[in-house]
Amino acid sequence: MGDKNDIYNVNLPPGFRFDPTDEELVVHFLQRKATLLPCHPHVIPDLHLYSYDPWQLHGRALLEGNKWYYYSRRTQNRVTDNGYWKATGMEEAVICSTNNKKVGMKKHFVFHVGESPASGIKTNWIMQEFCLSDSASSSAKSSKRKSKPIKDYSKWVICRVYEQNEDGDDGMDQLSYLDEVFLSLDDLDEISLPNY
C-alpha cells in the first residue's frame, strides 16, 4: 500500500472529479454519517480539524483541486496550534432541490494566525462548515440502534477548506504565476528578433 499521507487522494477515473454541491455534501455524505449508514465509496476521512492548521491538511483530508474535505466533530473551540478559525457571520441554509426543505446549514470561517482576535492576522484560508438542520439531526438520533452505547453522530460536520486568492475567489479558473510564465515562453517563437 502507498504512503499513509496519500490515503485520501482519491484516484477517480479520467474525467471524474469530486466536486459535490452543498446539498450533495449534506444529503449524501453528512446525513449518512449521522444515521450510521455506510457511504460508498468511503472517500471523506474523519479528522479532528482543530489539531491541524489549514496548510497541514494535505495528505490528511480528501483533496480535489484546491479544496480539502473531511468530517469533524462540531465544537465551539476552533483553535489550532498556530491560530484560530473565526466565524464571518455568514450562514446559509442548504435546501434540498427535490422538496425545498432545509436539510442543513453552511457556516463560513476565516483562519487567523495568532492567539487572540486582538493579535490575530487574517489569512486567505476559508472554511465552509456544513451541519445538519435540527430536524435532520433529530431523525438521525431516532434511527440509531439502541442496543449498545455509541457516539452521537448527529454532531458531525463536513468541512470544505480552501485558500482564497487575492481577488476573492477560490482560484479554480485562474492560472498560477508559473503557468503564466510558461505560457508566455510559448510566445517567444512568434517574436522575431532583429538580425545584426
Cβ atoms of 69 and 151 within 8 Å: the answer is no
183 CB burial (10 A radius; 0-12, 13-18, 19+) = exposed
Rounded CA separation 13/82 (Å):
37
- Low-confidence stretches of the chain (pLDDT < 50) are 1-7, 137-149, 171-179, 182
pLDDT value, residue 196: 59
Strands 121-132 and 62-64: unpaired
pLDDT in tens, 67-114: 999 999 888 878 888 999 999 988 999 999 999 999 999 999 999 999
Cβ atoms of 7 and 46 within 8 Å: the answer is no
108 CB burial (10 A radius; 0-12, 13-18, 19+) = middle
Range list of β-strands (E), 12-155 = 62-64, 67-73, 83-95, 102-113, 121-132
